[in-house]
Amino acid sequence: MNTCIKIDRVEKIFKSQEGFDIKALDTINMDVNENDFICIVGPSGCGKSTLLRLISGLENASSGDIYYYNQKLTKPTKDIGMVFQNYSLLPWRTVLDNIGLGLEFEGKPKKEREELSRHFLDIIGMAEFEKAYPYELSGGMQQRVAIARALVNNPKVLLMDEPFGALDAYTRILLQRELLKIWELNKKTILFVTHSVDEAVYLSDKIVVMSNKPGQIKEIIEVNMQRPRDRANPLYGKLTEKLLNMLEE
């Protein structure tokens, strides 16, 4: 397996309004291999989202380095896409135009943008909604559009920051299945932040467990279960219990 992202002794320090240093991340070391599906879990405020923002290039580390195929990451790259918890769709643009936004920024011709956008609309099962506006869609449908918008730019790495956190339980399970289908079809590398231990066990190849602030990696757990995963499997329950106990420590 080739390493696509290497995180080397990364720390992140923020300044409080009073001028104090607040350490969000402390000495993070991790290798991410091609086609890995990694979930990151940990207590609120432990720096999970901050870590994704550093990998995306939206923020810079206070110390340490992040490499993408041995090249130091210092700014965003089209090879690394990001999906946020809030859908961030432009309300005045149709579904089709929202998906093609990044392609438009790249200067792609309209016909090419629309063809590519329709391809990913098909993948997320929403071809009939291309002319709809975000306010006409449910939360789950808006999140599908946000995922398609990230995928249409053909990133090699997809960062997902609690993308299903605001959805009801049933829609969340449906989108988990959809995401696995997309991952298996496109073979992206995915780093997925979640507060749900169940979601981490259901989705990932590896689970990164982080400690309370300042965030450190407690353990990286390999999930050795075949897909599709059965929540009634005793191994599933055992791993879920182990993770909950680790988070309570």
CA distance linking residue 31 with residue 66, whole number of Å: 10
How far separated are the first and last CA of the chain, in Å rounded? 33
Q: What is the pLDDT of residue 1?
A: 74
Can you give the pTM of this predicted structure?
0.90
What are the CA-CA distances from residue 162 to residues 4, 17, 31, 40, 199 (Å)? Answer: 22, 27, 21, 10, 10
CA distance linking residue 211 with residue 42, whole number of Å: 6
Residues 6+ positions from 151 with CB-CB distance below 8 Å: 81, 120, 123, 158, 182, 186, 188
In the predicted model, residues of the chain with pLDDT beneath 50 are none
Q: What is the pLDDT of residue 155?
A: 92
Residues 6+ positions from 40 with CB-CB distance below 8 Å: 48, 51, 52, 191, 192, 193, 194, 207, 208, 210
Q: What is the pLDDT of residue 37?
A: 97
The domain limits of the chain are 3-79+156-248, 89-154
Q: What is the pLDDT of residue 65?
A: 96
Thinking of the domain 3-79+156-248, which architecture would CATH place it in?
A: 3-Layer(aba) Sandwich (3.40)
Q: Which of 127, 154, 47, 147 is nearest to 87 (CA)?
A: 147
Q: Tokens 């006409």 map to which residue?
A: 136
Q: What is the pLDDT of residue 114?
A: 93
Q: What is the pLDDT of residue 88?
A: 83
